[in-house]
Amino acid sequence: DQVSLTALSLWALHEAGAQDAGASEDESISRGLNFLRLATVNCFDNNVSVMCSALSARAFSAWQKPSEASAAVGFLKTLQQPDGGFVD
């Protein structure tokens, strides 16, 4: 899905060295993070994908967006099964 792929791509870009340029990110990074922010605000459009919320949390964390990462983690926790596992 688009949200998972965007999150994974942003995480990969960060890990590959596409760092913040001073106080602002590269334009493509900013657009990607904004896309993820909107998805998070909309509770991932009721997409109950563990992968989507987990990758988004990781991408936000990598780009030092703690409030967005926290929101994604909060949503992810709601998807945990009674036995402790996660399934998509």
Residue 61: pLDDT band (50, 70, 90) is: very high
Is residue 63 within 8 A of residue 10, CB to CB? The reply is yes
pLDDT at 19: 67
pTM: 0.83
Query: How far, in whole angstroms, is CA 83 from its chain's centroid?
Result: 25
